[in-house]
Structure 1
Amino acid sequence: MSGPPGLDLARLAGWLPAVLPAAGPQLRAELIAGGRSNLTYTLTDGEQTWILRRPPLGDVLAIAHDMGREYRVMTALRDTRVPVPRTIALCLDTGVLGAPFYLMQRVAGTPYRRAAELAALGPTRTRHIAQGLVDTLTRLHAVDPDAVGLADFGRPEGFLARQVQRWRRQLDASRSRELPAADALHDALAADVPAASPIGIVHGDYRLDNVLVDQDDRPAAVIDWEMATLGDPLTDLALLVVYQRLGGLLAPLGLDAAAAPGYLTEAQVRARYAAGSDRDMSRFGWYLGLASYKLAGILEGIHLRHSRGQTVGAGFAGIGEAVPPLLAAGLRALRENG
């Protein structure tokens, strides 16, 4: 059996019966297009189909690709109002695929990414999808981490200051060119860290194509939990807004869904979230600056891995061109009020 890059189907077939005794020996797999970091595959024995997640190929920051964290948070949320796939098995033995990985349920749903995809549905359905996206985020942020066994899932004390330093380290580890605005944005963020809002579960990369939408236009599952932790949930909302603001700039990623007719405006997104949450948003401009800095760090890492031929999938050419204007946008956002 041959498989896509990163997946040794022969070794996988030897491991699978221990967790799924009824699984057939003849496996087929396909890399799901659109994965920009951890790799996601459909895996089937011809009768059943699952989803497998593993870290990207090449040298990566372990903390950003922790399979155990993804698996744990989805398992913890399975009985809450936050829709997540059912987890099946976690494998930490790197002798199977060369890296840790996990299996989970395949959930039927569409990860809408492009405005054209939503435009085909019409403005009424698009608005309903956007509302569901925001409402699911407020439900996630309302979950008590202690109640679902995630009290030790992160270190929320000093979370915002550590985020600034973490993404500086990410940028420094990935930087292969001069980015003067990165230093300016870091210094401005570090100099004026606000008091954090109440602790909650942070997804870390919440956007429409990380939510599978069912045939009734409802969120069926929130996916891609690789950066989940405990901290200040307003960082999720800020990143969602930055993705919306910069859809055109992020054309290489195809993330322009918010431009579709009927999609909530930025003001409507923020107002809908605020209606379902009592968090103080008076310093939201700072959060937008941090979100821009974080996204710049993510894209710069992808740019570096792509330049080294270590990233699997299409759509990466030119992705690094988005980083300098994104950093500039982050500096501008710091001047905004809530």
Structure 2
Amino acid sequence: MLDVVEASPDVIHAERVTSWISRQTDVDGPFSYHLIAGGRSNMTFAVKQEGQTLFVLRRPPMGPLLPSAHDMAREHRLMDALRDSDVPVPEMVGLCQDETVNGRDFYVMRFVDGIVVRDIDIASTMSISVRRTMSESLIKNLVALHRVDIDEVGLGDLAKRTGYIERQVKRWIGQWENSRTRELPIVDAVASALLYRMPEPNPTTIAHGDYRLSNCMMSSQGLVTAVLDWELCTLGEPMADLGGLLGYWHDPQETDPAGDAESTGLTGFLTQDEMASLYAEAMGVDMGSISYYRAFAQWRLACIAEGVYARYLGGQQGAQDEEIDLERMKDSVTERAERAAQLLDMD
């Protein structure tokens, strides 16, 4: 894990949090706390002792929070519920909802060693056989997640069990309307097609909501050692998870709409069709509707890109503005929407 900065006292009250962790574990402090991910999303810290990472702490971002966002108890509940399943998740140390400890809820989990393949530079260091193994392991663990009995693990009341895709499409239509910076009829046309062409749903499962290569910890052999980033997890359509995974997956020679080289285009990674076939064989599902869910994923990513583009235009995205190719980001919205239209066979 990469240390960015040691946590300031207003973010992590080291003395009180250390005391709390020591009470939950057999490990006495002192600990140091190092931010490894943060911003508008939940903040993640490596909890270290003498240079060794022992635990990972998650807390909400600083500043005002939306009532239903950044729910630490929900994230903790999800991973704790999966502890005895075939889905690899970090071991939970505990959830703290006593705001006198650190001002906000937080939870702590045991550190899982591994590699996050977040860019092509990391993927390039791996052998062709390891890349293939990673592809297969990602599908194997997605299947394991979708096979979890939601009632047996105590997650039956996590969310509504019906209407997932319709809610998602309507939600992202709202996001598009709130962030759009120009008229793009193709985005609106795809939205309408998604609403009116919804396939019959598959049996409801746990839906991760953001399952992809960079949200999994991998071993050096290419096996998933932990599935991470459960912020968007709910009960829903399993094929939406597969479509989302393929939305971030780029075949060799395929142009990445984000304008960056994509790890999965390297030799050894399975193609999108091969990934879908592996999933279909393991789950025994009909792949006739996969194009719909791949289209939904591309359209959703177009809406997300427009939101990011709008925030950069408005100067709301912080100090990284100079590093972003705004024109490329703007073009990626149209490209993803066009890809969605192609997947839906729209004229």
Match of 2:43 in 1: 39
Match of 1:8 in 2: 10
- Say whether residues 1:263 and 2:269 are aligned partners: yes
Match of 2:208 in 1: 203
How far apart in 1 are the matches of 2:136 and 2:88? 15
Question: Superposition RMSD on alpha carbons, in Å?
Answer: 3.0
How far apart in 2 are the matches of 1:323 and 1:9? 35
Q: For residue 107 of structure 2, give the secondary structure of its aligned residue in structure 1.
A: strand
Match of 1:150 in 2: 155
Contact residue 119 and residue 261 of structure 1 kept, 8 A: no
The CA deviation string for residues 65-121 of structure 1, in whole angstroms up to 9 with x for no partner, is 332222111111111111001122223456665654322221101011333422322
Matches within 5 A, 1:243-254: 243-245=248-250, 248-251=256-259
Give the residue type in structure 1 aligned to 2:82.
L
- Say whether residues 1:282 and 2:282 are aligned partners: no
Q: For residue 244 of structure 1, give the secondary structure of its aligned residue in structure 2.
A: coil
How far apart in 1 are the matches of 2:74 and 2:224? 22
Match of 1:81 in 2: 86
Give the Å deviation of 1:172.
3.5
- Say whether residues 1:177 and 2:187 are aligned partners: no
How far apart in 1 are the matches of 2:248 and 2:239? 14
Identity of aligned residues (%): 32
Give the residue type in structure 1 aligned to 2:80.
T
How far apart in 2 are the matches of 1:315 and 1:298? 20
Give the residue type in structure 1 aligned to 2:265.
A
Match of 1:299 in 2: 305
How far apart in 1 are the matches of 2:66 and 2:342? 29
Aligned length: 330
How far apart in 2 are the matches of 1:80 and 1:316? 42
Give the Å deviation of 1:42.
1.4
Match of 1:216 among 212, 221, 225: 221
How far apart in 2 are the matches of 1:19 and 1:154? 30
Give the residue type in structure 1 aligned to 2:336.
L
CA shift in 2, pair 1:159/1:31, >3 Å: same
CA shift in 2, pair 1:259/1:56, >3 Å: farther
The CA deviation string for residues 230-283 of structure 1, in whole angstroms up to 9 with x for no partner, is 11100010011111147722246x6x1211111001111011111101223212
Contact residue 210 and residue 241 of structure 2 kept, 8 A: yes
Which one has the largest radius of gyration? 2
Give the Å deviation of 1:196.
0.6
CA shift in 2, pair 1:303/1:156, >3 Å: farther
Contact residue 56 and residue 311 of structure 1 kept, 8 A: no
**Can you give the 5+ residue segments of structure 1 that lack an aligned partner in the other structure?**
none
Give the residue type in structure 2 aligned to 1:334.
L
Quick one: higher RCO (CA 8 Å, sep 6+), 1 or 2? 1
Which stretch shifts more, 185-194 or 219-228? Answer: 185-194
TM-score, with length taken from structure 1:
0.85
TM-score, with length taken from structure 2:
0.83
Q: For residue 284 of structure 2, give the secondary structure of its aligned residue in structure 1.
A: coil
Match of 1:324 in 2: 334
